[in-house]
Amino acid sequence: MLSTVAAAVTPAAAPQAGNAAASPIRDFLSRRGSGRLADASFAAIMLVCALSIFAIVLFILSILIVRSHLSLAQFGWSFFTRSAWDPVSGDFGALPFIFGTLATSFLALLMAVPLALGVAIFLTELCPQPLRAPISFLTELLAAIPSVVYGLWAVFVLIPLVRDVIGPFLVKFFGWTTLFDGTNFGVGLLTASIILAIMILPIISSLTRDIMTAVPNSQREAVLALGATRWEMIRIGVLRNSRIGIVGAIMLGLGRALGETMAVTMVIGNHPNISKSLFAPANTLASVIAGEFSEATSDIYLSALIEIGLALFLVTIVVNAIARLMVWAVTRNAPARVQ
Amino acid sequence: MDFQTRSMRLNNARRKVTNYLVSGLSILATIIVIVPLIAILFYLIYKGASSLNLAFFTHIPAPVGEEGGGMANSIVGSGIILLLASLMGVPIGIAAGVYLAEFGRGKALATAVRFTADVLNGVPSIVMGISIYSLIVIQQKHFSALAGGVALGIMMIPTITRTTEEMLATVPHAIREAALGLGVPKWRTAISVSLRTASPGIITGCMLAFARVAGETAPLLFTAFGNQFWSLKLNEPIAALPLQIYVYAISPYDEWHRLAWAGALVLIVMIMVSVTLVRIVANRGVLKGGS
């Protein structure tokens, strides 16, 4: 539409420019033609910058493949199914880290999702107006706290708490599940999952809130008019309409949990270990890179770590892509919002 | 009372109870979430404030076993890395946003760029770190401030692109059409009219991206690497606040733990002040140009 307006203006301006008048506007219009080259080059520069985003993704992918070719060539697909991790003899397999990543992310989602949904429902449907802004501001503030600060807090507060309070409590009531066997040092899968849950909660709840806000009020009114209680209104009018977006928000939280590095590295115990016990120290894909990258002395060791990075990259790309599509499907027509 | 009425009453009672139960649960969830989060914030402020002193801002780290010392070099180092990152991320991010909003409306290419930016936003920062390590550090054969800046700069791009686009989308078409109607070239319209009108929002977006990467540690581990001494050279390993907090947090010394808390407080305050300040300024309209 814009270009048609511009096109309509230019021919009209051209003949007038012929009359050499002193008017500054006419003077300006007569120099209009010089914009054509500038316009084209400006558009080209903007396009190049936009394309650089593709370039970055391709660059990350290619450099990771190039640098991990040693490990790719030596171990092939079995890299992801073997649990050996022996830097001394140069034998590497990523299974313990895949297990650690999946276990911590799953537990974190298990803890965070019900709470995040509760918060989102409270904020959109139940919360008194004056409380709404401060609570959403607080949750967004917490999303801005750096990972390393959460890690610092976890090291000095959460680890003692898990060791002395939460751990013994779980052993007492859920010891029969054998999920809490072994010595509880405070570091391990459970602690890492708790800190991950705390970190992804604000993300999931604020996205879910956006998605639920995007549901038109007429939906709510229609359900209420049929005599529904408030919960039935939320369930039928709001949740059912936004479920795809909510699943997307949860997957975005999952993407964050899969790649979270610093806080997890600081509390997980950093040991390549596949154990049923939640107290056992473990390692995730991200934390093994952070913990061992600078110690990697041999080429094959470095290459194996970069291959882990490559796997992490591909997995998070896929998870994020699916999640974004789901969130887009719901919020595409909603008003824009600065995050 | 016949059977039907009775079962309806029962059903209604059940629905009411469920309603109260769920409302109660969602309030409970909010309390369970809000209370520990406030606790984290206050604990941070309490621990940090009791550990903070002037030496923290003026001294470099003391050797193990010695009292005192500060993180002056880390604060300056973080500043340098973030400046490099902004020099790279802000122009590219804004330009990409301008493309999406001004030139790419409705094009499939623009949708693809938008989607890729969102996906890139979710790439773990540690992956960014090892990619830049593989590209720059291996070539140069040493860690450098420059590599750290590039890693953070790349991480800023998608956030800035998306906020710039969203902000430009809020600029009314009538303003652009007015400029174009006066015969102003399109590039001039984009810069002097669209960008200028949307500038408060765009600046907010840049600050948010800045605040986000200011606390990043993982991408700096193998790029900027950290440094116990003064170093301002772009070509050498450089100290950074988040890195130093990490190193001190996992160290066994009480004195270093104290410094880690102080560092965390400084980092948080820096991030929050920049975010809040920009919000206030943007809301008051001081930055509002053009319109």
ipTM for this model: 0.88
CB contact under 8 A, B123 and A259: yes
For residues A185 and A122, state if they share a domain: yes
Please report the pLDDT score of residue A332 as a whole number.
65
For residue B221, give the nearest of B156, B158, B147 by alpha carbon: B147
Residues A88, A18, single domain; the answer is no
A293 and A216 housed in the same domain = yes
pTM as predicted: 0.86
In this structure, chain A runs to a length of 339
Pick from B19, B212, B216: CB nearest A231 = B19
Sorted by where each begins, the domain ranges of chain B are 3-51, 58-284
Residue A59 Cα distances to A165, B7, B42, B154, angstroms: 47, 66, 42, 11
The contacts of residue B10 (CB under 8 Å, 6+ apart) are none
Q: Which residue of A has its CA nearest to B268?
A: A145
Contact B19 A229 (CB under 8 A): yes
- Exposed/middle/buried for A334, CB within 10 Å: 0-12, 13-18, 19+? middle
Which residues on A lie below 8 Å from B89 (Cβ)? none
pLDDT value of residue A180: 85
Q: Determine the average pLDDT of the residues in B54-76.
A: 83
Query: Is residue B251 exposed (0-12), middle (13-18) or buried (19+ Cβ within 10 Å)?
Result: middle
Write the single-letter amino acid at B252.
Answer: P
Which of A249-263, B9-23, B171-185, B277-291 shows the lowest per-residue confidence on average (mean pLDDT)?
B277-291
CA distance A121 to A235: 10
Confidence check: pLDDT of A36 > 50: yes
> Do A22 and A121 belong to one domain?
no
Q: What percent of chain A has pLDDT over 70?
A: 88
Is B122's CB within 8 Å of A135's CB?
no
In this complex, do A135 and B245 lie within 8 Å of one another by their Cβ atoms?
no
Among residues A116, A82, A114, A112, the alpha carbon closest in space to that of A98 is found at A82
CA distance B89 to B151: 10
CB contact under 8 A, B126 and A151: no
Rounded CA separation A275/A188 (Å): 11
Q: CA-to-CA distance for A135 and A131, rounded, in angstroms?
A: 6
Contact between residue A265 and residue A289 where contact means Cβ atoms under 8 Å apart:
no
**CA B157, CA B96: separation in Å to the nearest integer?**
9
Whether residue A37 lies inside any domain: the answer is: no
Does B28 touch chain A if contact means CB atoms closer than 8 Å?
Answer: yes
Same domain, A18 and A152: no
Residues within 8 A of A (CB atoms), B 247-276 only: 249-250, 257, 260-261, 264, 267-268, 271-272, 275
Looking at per-residue pLDDT, the higher value among A253 and A19 belongs to: A253
Counted across chains A and B, CB pairs separated by less than 8 A come out at 294
Domain extent, residue A248, equals: 72-331
- Interchain contact, A53 vs B25, CB within 8 Å: no
The reported pLDDT for the residue numbered A179 is 82
A106-119: b (≥16 Cβ within 10 Å) or e: ebbbebbbebbbbb
Per-range mean pLDDT, top range of A239-243, A284-288, B224-228, B266-270: A284-288
Separation in Å, CA of A276 to nearest CA in chain B:
26
Same domain membership, residue A77 and residue A127 = yes
Chain A CB within 8 Å of residue B12 CB: no
pLDDT tops 80 at residue A230: yes
> What are the start-end ranges of the E strands in chain A?
85-86, 91-92
B51 vs B45: CA distance, rounded Å: 10
Work out the mean pLDDT of chain B and round it to a whole number: 87
- Is A62 contained in some domain? no
> Under a CB-based contact definition with an 8 Å cutoff, are residues B226 and B240 in contact?
yes
Counting beta carbons within 10 angstroms of the beta carbon of residue B13, is it exposed (0 to 12), middle (13 to 18) or buried (19 or more)?
Answer: exposed
Between CA B222 and CA A306 the distance in angstroms is: 12
Tell me whether residues A231 and B18 touch, CB distance under 8 A: yes
Q: How many CB atoms within 10 Å of residue A159? A: 19
Distance from C-alpha of A121 to C-alpha of A139, rounded to nearest angstrom: 14
> Residue for token digits 């593709």?
A54
**Same domain assignment for residues A94 and A9:** no
Answer yes or no: is A247 within a domain: yes
Q: Are residues A114 and A243 both part of a single domain?
A: yes
In angstroms, the CA A317 to CA A244 distance is 19
> Where do runs of H (alpha helix) occur along B143-253?
145-169, 173-181, 186-188, 196-197, 199-214, 241-249
Q: Residue A52: which of B92, B122, B177 has the nearest Cβ? A: B92
The pLDDT, as a whole number, for residue B283 is: 61
Contact B25 A138 (CB under 8 A): no
pLDDT digits (tens, 9 = 90+) for A147-171: 999 999 999 999 999 999 988 888 8
Do A232 and A93 belong to one domain? yes
Rounded to whole angstroms, how far apart are CA atoms A28 and A336?
36
What pLDDT, in 10s, does the model give residues B131-167?
Answer: 999 999 888 888 999 999 999 999 999 999 998 998 8
Query: Chain A partners of B43 at a C-beta cutoff of 8 Å?
Result: 153, 157
Q: Which fold would CATH assign to domain B58-284?
A: MetI-like fold (1.10.3720)
| Residue of chain A nearest B168, judged by CA positions | A336
**What CATH number is associated with residue A213?**
1.10.3720.10
Contact A293 B221 (CB under 8 A): yes
Which residue from A minimizes the CA distance to B156?
A53
Decide if A60 and B128 are in contact by the 8 Å CB cutoff: yes
DSSP label of B62: P
Sign of the Cα pseudo-torsion (A81, A185, A177, A108, in order): negative
Do A14 and A94 fall into the same domain? no
Is B264 in Cβ contact with A149 (below 8 Å)? yes
Looking at chain B, which residue has its C-alpha nearest residue A326?
A: B115
Is the pLDDT assigned to residue B289 strictly greater than 90? no
Q: Sign of dihedral through CA atoms A142, A146, A149, A155? A: positive
CA distance B2 to chain A (A): 22
In angstroms, the CA B160 to CA B207 distance is 9
Cβ of A256 within 8 Å of Cβ of B122? The answer is yes
Closest approach of chain A CAs to the CA of B199, in angstroms?
Answer: 13
Residue A337 has pLDDT above 70, yes or no: no
How many domains does chain A fold into?
2
Residue among B112, B127, B133 whose CB faces A312 most closely:
B127
The shortest CB-CB distance from B134 to any of A63, A145, A319 is to A63
| Cβ atoms < 10 Å from Cβ of B32 | 15
Is the same domain home to A210 and A157?
yes
Q: Which chain A residue has its CA at the smallest distance from B202's CA?
A: A338
Are A101 and A240 part of one and the same domain?
yes
Nearest-CB residue to A261 (from B15, B99, B218): B218
Is B222 close to A294, i.e. CB distance below 8 A?
yes
Nearest to B197 by CA among B102, B289, B96: B289
Q: Which residues pair with A91 in a beta bridge?
A: A86
Q: Is residue A35 in a domain? A: no
Instruction: Answer yes or no: do A339 and B268 touch at CB < 8 A.
Output: no
CB B199 within 8 A of CB B285: no
Q: Binning pLDDT at 50, 70 and 90, where does residue B278 land?
A: low
DSSP letters of A252-315? HHHHHHHH--HHHHHHS-------S-TTS----HHHHHHHHGGG--SHHHHHHHHHHHHHHHHH
User: In angstroms, rounded to a whole number, what is the distance separating the alpha carbons of residues B202 and B195?
Assistant: 8
Structure token digits, residue A52 = 């650089």
Give the pLDDT confidence of A172-228 residue by residue, as tens digits. Answer: 888 888 788 888 888 999 999 999 999 999 889 988 988 898 888 888 999 999 988
Question: What's the confidence (pLDDT) of residue A3?
Answer: 45
Q: Token pair 């950074």 is at which residue?
A: B240
